[in-house]
A and B are shown apart, each in its own frame.
Chain A
Amino acid sequence: MTELFTLKHNPLVDPAMHIWAWQIPVYLFLGGLVAGLMILSGYHIIRDRYDTDRPHGHYVTAPMLSVALLSLGMLALFFDLEHKIEVWRLYMTFEVTSPMSWGSWILLLVYPVLIASALLNFQEAQPRLAARYPTVAGVAEAMRSRPGVASLIGFANIALGAGLGIYTGILLSSLAARPLWSSALLGPLFLFSGLSTGAATLHMLTHIEKGEDNSYGDFLVASMVGWIRPKHGEHEGAVKLAHADNGFLTIELSILMLFLINLSGSSAAGHDAAALLLTGPYAAVFWVFVVGSGLVIPLILQGLQAANRIRPTMIPALLVLVGGLVLRFVLVYAGQASHWPRIAGF
């Protein structure tokens, strides 16, 4: 029998650590999603740079959506800070051992690359806006006329997207005091989760995006019915995205399994941490929303869509997004609940 009694009583830390609430999972989810969108956009920019005939609606929508989502994520992160007035200090130094410092600087580089990505296809995708803002259109045209610039923006998207996606996982795994987070697999796990949620977002855009001649009302109707009814003429793109998303989901599921196997077979603290997800208080949410509806069901649905057995809809994309968000919530909350054994064994 070993019994521990302590008089320690610090808020947020005792009796169980709960320093991070909804803000951090939301930030990690949005950061990962934007990372996924950037890698996919970068790949398309490099692949399609000479194909000027196709209207690249997503290539403008996706980076601008990324700017909005990333800003929302950073706002959540800002809400989490306890000493908000000092936030500028993040940019007064670069701490090489701190993943949070790396992340702050990566985020600063991400914004100009996203805006450049949106400008690259501005004229083709948004001709009305281009006519209204000739200066912006001029800059966009100057960029587009130089293939080297397009390549550079494409590669910058991929490099920064990968950095951002991995960083969101490393941020937690660097905090080795919490056994659940003490795994280098969190980096690739969050990267592939980011890629799957990024592909799911693009998938949703193919269903709800406004056509050139549609009015705003049509767009709203399309948004509402898009998740149950496929949009005409976009099957090819949707099927490609479903294929890509299934690839990402398969890798994500494999990494998640490896992560749990590794943790279960490690120290007693690691075993207890894995048990929090596998059989403990977070098990129901983990199995139902992360593994079940977040990974396995979308894999099956998108597999059937790709094989033309069912009509492509937004449902699997929606499930992937919910699963990605819940994955962050579960890992952040369960991670805080995991701890080293408190007994000293004197």
Chain B
Amino acid sequence: MVIDTHKCVGCKDCVVACKTENSVPEGYCRDWITEEARGAFPTIQLELRSERCNHCENPPCVHCCPTGASHVHEPGGVVLVTHEKCIGCKACLGACPYDARFINPEGYADKCTFCIHRVEKGLDPACVSVCPTHCMTFGDIDDPLSKVNQLLASRRHHTLLPEAGTKPKIYYLT
């Protein structure tokens, strides 16, 4: 997923769409908005980011899971949790440097699924489909001709906490 931080206005439509689409319990969220400001007046810079699970290529949450509930879904490399297999040990919550997971009130570890149920039908994730500024682009990073790759080739971008070594798959255009 590629997110253009110049287009994001922090309207939280993506948050509401995710909660509605995935019936996320009240008081919890699978995606959220972060505002990062830096510098000193009058040269302050602001970045608005829609954040969620980074569906890392090297996912520590999957490596530490004792039951195999956390797994990488193929094809696509989406990190998912099989709810029925999760014992709620919370090791994955501790392993995620992005704090992207939480414990669903039903007892299992919960997080963004990239709306895999929609993607498998050829649709975009709910957050992408509702974004009023079209700041989010979802696609196949392994396809050199995909729109996400074209965007990454044409713009400066960064990921979150690359130093954690998890190889996150969400890129922010700056």
Could you list which residues of chain A lie within 8 angstroms of chain B, going by C-beta atoms? 1-14, 17, 19-20, 80-84, 86-87, 89-90, 92-93, 95, 97-101, 104, 174-178, 267, 336, 339-341, 343-346
Closest to A9 in B: B29
Q: Which of B15, B94, B106 contacts A175 (CB 8 A)?
A: B94
Q: What is the distance, in angstroms, from A228's C-beta to the closest C-beta of chain B? A: 42
Are the C-beta atoms of B38 and A2 separated by less than 8 Å?
yes
A1:B38 contact, CB within 8 angstroms: yes
Contact between B34 and A6 (Cβ–Cβ < 8 Å)?
A: yes
Min CB gap A150→B, angstroms = 34
Chain A binding surface, main DSSP class: loop
Q: Which residues of B contact A90 (CB under 8 A)?
A: 66-67, 87
Q: Given A82-B103, A98-B63, A99-B64, A177 and B90 touching (CB < 8 A)?
A: no
Q: In the complex, A98→B65 CA distance in Å?
A: 6
Query: Chain B: interface residue count, which band?
Result: 35 or more
Q: Could you say which residues of chain A place their CB within 8 Å of the CB of B94?
A: 17, 19-20, 175, 177-178, 336
The 9 A-B residue pairs with the shortest CB-CB distance, nearest first, are: A82-B88, A83-B107, A83-B88, A10-B102, A100-B66, A177-B97, A8-B32, A101-B66, A97-B63
Whether the Cβ atoms of B103 and A12 lie closer than 8 Å is yes
Binds A, one of B121-129, B130-138, B142-150, B157-165: B157-165
Is the pair B49, A81 in contact by a Cβ cutoff of 8 Å?
no
CA distance A90 to B87 in the complex (A): 8
Give the most central of B69, B84, B85, B97: most A CB within 10 Å: B97
Query: What CA separation (Å) do A86 and B45 show in the bound complex?
Result: 48
B interface vs A, CB < 8 Å?
Answer: 5, 12, 15, 27-29, 32-40, 45, 47, 49, 51, 60, 63-69, 84-91, 93-97, 99, 101-103, 106-108, 158, 160-161, 163-165, 172, 174
Report which residue of A1, A19, A81 has the largest number of chain B beta carbons within 10 angstroms of its beta carbon: A19
> B158 — nearest CB in chain A belongs to which residue?
A346
Cβ contacts under 8 Å, A1 to chain B: 37-40
Having A13-B102, A341-B161, one finds 7 other A-B pairs with CB under 8 Å, namely A7-B32, A9-B32, A17-B94, A84-B107, A86-B85, A339-B97, A346-B38
